[in-house]
């Protein structure tokens, strides 16, 4: 397993003469097997942060360490899941799942058997030879999940993975992810704007503010595991949810002030 450590990470994007400070001095430690959510309004740099951990984007300053070694490029130790399943439409569900093993030359009858087993686990048994187009939205997400798990990532990076799903399917996928995480205990960084989802899933919720993006608070979620949807009505859950929401509100209140009135120093 693996841990992730971000130390004073900063990132700027240049648009012609203007530069936008996307991340300023972001530090976060995600322990081995820990489930951490990044919550914040859009534009707070949470996706950029995830891409930096994924190795797709270079940070301008600070250190990004996975298992103590700096991240320089994408790797199969870090699986990525996106808001859209991003399956390859020209491959069947099974071939999508086998994309990683084929690319890395580790394709074998065992890999194939494992892929079949994973598809069975995500509830896609019998759909191995379907094309993505023939699946429903939730099924595509589960296929993407199986494909990500195929590489046996130690860290799963998820960018609003259920954001585009309808409420019922979303709840099903959250429960599915919780169950799988309970069994495997990989490290997870989940980007979401759904406070309830963050509280339900995470060990800790990091609340981000925008302009420039930074983590303003990290809230521990000390609810018992294993968790399920029934918990969301308990007073403890509701209280935590309120706490996260208030923090998000504070973050929201903070940002416009610094944008509209940058000289206000008191």
**Is 65:4 a contact under the CB 8 Å cutoff?**
yes
Least distance (Å) from other proteins to the CB of residue 75? 7
Instruction: Using the rule CB under 8 A, give the single segment among 128-136, 219-227, 228-236, 246-254 that binds other proteins.
Output: 128-136
Q: In the stretch 136-175, what mask flags binding to other proteins with x, by CB under 8 A? A: -----------xx-xx-x----------------------
- Answer yes or no whether residue 246 interacts with other proteins by CB under 8 A: no
- Which among 32, 52, 55, 8 is positioned nearest to 188, based on CA atoms? 32
User: Toward other proteins, which CB reaches closer, 151 or 178?
Assistant: 151
Residues 194-213 that bind other proteins (CB under 8 A): none
Which residues sit opposite 155 in a β-bridge? 78, 187
DSSP output for 141-190:
HHHHHHHHHHT--SEEEEESTTTTS-HHHHHHHHHHHHHHHHHH--EEEE
Q: Which two tokens stand for residue 193?
A: 């704007």
Would you say 46 or 147 has its CB closer to other proteins?
Answer: 147
Binding of other proteins at residue 99 (CB under 8 A)?
Answer: yes
Other CB atoms within 10 A of residue 173 CB: 19
**H helix or E strand, kind and range, residue 6:** strand 4-15
Q: Using CB under 8 A, which of 20, 31, 65, 131 touches other proteins?
A: 131
Binding flag, residue 115, other proteins (CB under 8 A): no
56, 60, 248 from 48: Cα distances, Å: 9, 12, 18
Candidates 11-19, 37-45, 126-134, 161-169 — which segment interacts with other proteins by CB under 8 A?
Answer: 126-134
Total chain residues near other proteins (CB under 8 A): 30
Residue 27 binds other proteins (CB under 8 A): no
Q: Does 15 contact other proteins by CB under 8 A?
A: no
Q: Among residue numbers 49 through 88, which ones bind other proteins (CB under 8 A)?
A: 51, 54-56, 73-76, 78-80, 82, 84, 86, 88
Please answer whether residues 87 and 144 qualify as being in contact, where contact means their C-beta atoms are separated by less than 8 angstroms.
Answer: yes
Closest distance between other proteins and the C-beta of residue 230, in Å? 34
> 45 or 101: whose CB is closer to other proteins?
101
* Residues lying near other proteins in the complex (CB under 8 A): 51, 54-56, 73-76, 78-80, 82, 84, 86, 88-90, 99-100, 103-104, 131-134, 147-148, 150-151, 153
């Amino acid at each position: 397993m693996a841990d992730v450590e971000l130390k004073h990470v900063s990132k700027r994007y240049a648009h012609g003469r203007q530069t936008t400070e996307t991340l300023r001095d972001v530090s976060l430690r995600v322990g081995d097997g820990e489930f951490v959510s990044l919550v914040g309004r859009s534009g707070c740099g949470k996706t950029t942060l995830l891409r930096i951990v994924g190795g797709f984007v270079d940070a301008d300053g600070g250190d990004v360490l996975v298992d103590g070694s700096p991240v320089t490029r994408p790797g199969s130790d870090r699986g990525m899941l996106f808001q859209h399943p991003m399956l390859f439409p020209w491959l069947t569900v099974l071939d999508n799942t086998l994309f990683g093993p084929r690319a890395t030359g580790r394709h074998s009858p065992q890999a194939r058997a494992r892929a079949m087993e994973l598809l069975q686990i995500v509830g896609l048994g019998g759909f191995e030879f379907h094309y993505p187009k023939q699946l429903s939205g939730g099924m595509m997400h589960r296929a993407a999940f199986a494909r990500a798990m195929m590489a046996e990532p130690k860290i799963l990076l998820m960018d609003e993975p259920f954001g585009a799903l309808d409420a019922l399917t979303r709840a099903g996928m959250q429960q599915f992810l919780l169950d799988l995480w309970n069994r495997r205990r990989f490290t997870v960084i989940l980007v979401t704007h759904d406070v309830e989802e963050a509280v339900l899933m995470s060990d800790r919720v990091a609340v981000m503010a925008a302009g420039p993006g930074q983590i303003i608070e990290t809230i521990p979620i000390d609810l018992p595991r294993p968790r399920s949807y029934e918990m969301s009505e308990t007073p403890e859950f509701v209280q935590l949810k309120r706490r996260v929401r208030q923090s998000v509100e504070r973050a929201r209140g903070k940002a416009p002030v610094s944008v509209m009135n940058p000289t206000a120093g008191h």
